[in-house]
Amino acid sequence: MSMDMISEYRATMFDGEADIGWLRQGWRGLRQYGRRARAAVEAGDIATKAAMIARADELLNLMSGILDTGDDTSLGPALMTIYSALRFTLLRANTENTPEASLAALNDFEAALAYLDRDMIKISESVLAA
């Protein structure tokens, strides 16, 4: 599949070119899954914790698939690196044997997503204004 075909497919998914605003909804969804996983850990509900982490991982897969990671792009590859780190953090949260360690990993997950949601939008808005 050529890069042009991939770009056309991506554009049809978003009814036009994807921009950072589309990513923000995904980041908020990830934050919601992280919060629900944290609540499950605090309640001692391991099954719900695992389900929320699995949903977050599925959403990360989807979000990774829509990134433009072509040679002439910078945001897509950067976000791919961030998404890989987020996946590792989810893995930590899911495999830790103590609630405290799981909560620490989920707090790291939330902090990273809060940065993306807040600061990346500010950066993109300032670039558009310039």
List the pLDDT tens digit at each of the 130 positions of the chain.
Answer: 565 665 665 566 555 555 666 778 888 999 999 999 999 999 999 999 999 999 999 999 988 887 777 788 887 888 899 999 999 999 999 998 899 999 999 999 999 999 888 877 665 555 444 4
Q: Which CATH architecture does the domain made up of 23-129 adopt? A: Up-down Bundle (1.20)
Q: Return all residues near 70 (Cβ < 8 A) that are at least 6 apart.
A: 3, 76
- pLDDT, tens digit, 9 for 90 and up, residues 44-72: 999 999 999 999 999 999 888 877 777 88
- pLDDT, tens digit, 9 for 90 and up, residues 35-50: 999 999 999 999 999 9
The total of other beta-carbon atoms located within 10 Å of residue 12's CB is 9
- CA 1 to CA 3: how far, in whole Å? 7
